[in-house]
Amino acid sequence: MRTNNSKVKNVIISMYFILIVLAILLATLFSAFSELTSSPTLTFFVVIAVFVFLFFAAHKVSKYFEYDSDGVQVVIINRGLLLSDYFNYREYKLEFSKEQLLGYKFNNYLIYKNLVLYLTNKNGHKKREEFNVTLVSRKKRKYIRQSLSKIIKHNKTLKQQMND
């Protein structure tokens, strides 16, 4: 099964555009915020802190996700959405054979969702890998969940057959 969240790129570009317009608007309306506190520098730093927080939260959440379980290997890729065509500045790629998958878990936080995979390496040690799936639609996460469950079920039947 193959899936990705490439269609969400336009939404993220729009969100960054809105943040930049908001920053310009706040810079021009800075005098209106001076009534909130007596110190204009404190007001300036509060406004800048809120903008920086929103910008970095959007940067943390906005990642491209690709899942491919066709064939013998499973390939999962996470990379930044903006400028990812030119730079691989936030790319994380994991390729593993289906037999290495022990389990998985989807974590849903307030504004962040991730996929945690539990794998074994060649030495038999357990390894934990995390991927950002915040911008993957619910329907696609359901398909990924079904695919991973199918792989785990197949691994358990293989393990039982080997033990018998």
CATH number for the domain that contains residue 149: 2.30.29
Query: pLDDT of 43-93, one tens digit each?
Result: 778 778 888 888 888 878 888 899 999 989 999 999 887 665 566 677 889
By DSSP bridging, strand 92-97 and strand 73-80 are antiparallel
Question: Which residue range forms the structural domain that includes residue 58?
Answer: 1-164
**pLDDT of 99 higher than 80:** yes
How many domains in the chain? 1
pTM of the shown model? 0.79
